Amino acid sequence: MQFVLEYFLRFQDNLPGTYYISPSFRGEDPDSTHLNQFYHVECELLGDMDNAISIAEGYLAHLTQSMLKKHSDIILNTAGTLAHATAMLNKLEGKTPLPRISLDEAIPMMSSPDCLEWVQDGQPQFGRKLTRKGERLLIEKYGGAVWLTEMDHLGVPFYQAYVEGTGRCKAKAADLLLGLGETVGLGERHSTPELVQEALRHHAVPEQSYKWYINMRQVKTLLTSGWGMGTERYLCWLLQHDDIRDMHIIPRMKGMKYLP
């Protein structure tokens, strides 16, 4: 679906962005911070990662302002406070960008071994990532929200752009840590077909399946970036709730049958 948004941006010259709101269906195991079926907003924009972060922060501010205007009683009764939401708005509406920290800067700050784990067990070439505990440590340190940037490239999907000067090691990607942890995932895309092909080889992904994705850039080269926000994770932050499995209107857990 994200690739489709990249395609849509090429339909109309100078179209600033395109988006959808949709469910995702995955085979992963759910837990208190993750659903195997969830709703999310996905947005693809002209421009680099900094532009995408600015738009994502603006969307977060607009959504939170709307929620406070329409549903402050529900939020207060559930969360017991509005302070987290008003503090976020004060930052964003004051045009103060949320703090950013790279993965390499964050790793030395981790207080215990269970703050870190391998992206793929026993395969250090894919790098390390923060656990939910590590994400929460950064959230607390930075006053409620922080962008985690420049992940190890083999630990993210191939379509994220490379950070210049890192020897193809780091990705132009960022996760907004908020509430339960990662709530917005964001990245800049490869702008040329050659960079896509290089990344496919780097990640050992067969090129045949992505010929149309490569060709799209041959037909029309664009610099684009995109982001997605999990609706249920946002609601967990807004309502200050610690179990995302309670956010379903109709539960849809892997391996379990539910009737409405």
- Number of folded domains in the chain? 1
In a domain, 253, yes or no: no
Q: Is 80 exceeded by the pLDDT of residue 114?
A: yes
Span 164-174, mean pLDDT?
94
Answer whether residue 259 shows pLDDT above 80.
no
Question: What is the per-residue pLDDT for 238?
Answer: 98
Q: Write the CB contacts of 202 (distance below 8 Å, at least 6 apart in sequence).
A: 153, 154, 158, 168
What is the model's pTM? 0.94
Which amino acid is it at 38? F
pLDDT, residue 74, reads 97
Any domain includes 254? no
Residue whose token pair is 């992904």: 205
Going by pLDDT thresholds of 50, 70 and 90, the confidence category of residue 252 is: confident
Contacts of 28 (CB under 8 A, 6+ apart): 34, 36, 254
Residue 220 lies in a domain: yes
pLDDT of 99 over the 80 cut: yes
Select from 19, 6, 24, 105 the least CA-distant residue to 58: 19
Residue 260: the pLDDT is: 65
Structure-token pair, residue 209 = 């399946």
Burial readout 28-37 (b: 16 or more C-beta within 10 A, e: otherwise) = eebeebbbbb
Across the chain, what does the average pLDDT equal?
A: 94
Tell me if 103 is assigned to some domain: yes
The Cα 65–Cα 53 span in angstroms is: 18
Share of the chain above pLDDT 70, in %: 100
Least confident window among 27-36, 149-158, 182-191: 27-36
* In-domain check, residue 158: yes
23 lies in some domain: yes
What's the pLDDT score for residue 27? 87
Range of the domain at 30: 2-247
What CATH number is associated with residue 110? 3.30.930.10
Average pLDDT of span 77-103: 94
Task: State yes or no: pLDDT of 173 exceeds 70.
Answer: yes
Inside any domain, residue 256: no
Classify residue 257: in a domain, yes or no.
no
Q: DSSP letters along 19-55, please?
A: EEEEEEE--SPPBTTB-SEEEEEEEEEES-HHHHHHH
Per-residue model confidence (pLDDT) at position 94:
83
Per-residue pLDDT averaged across 170-190, rounded?
A: 98
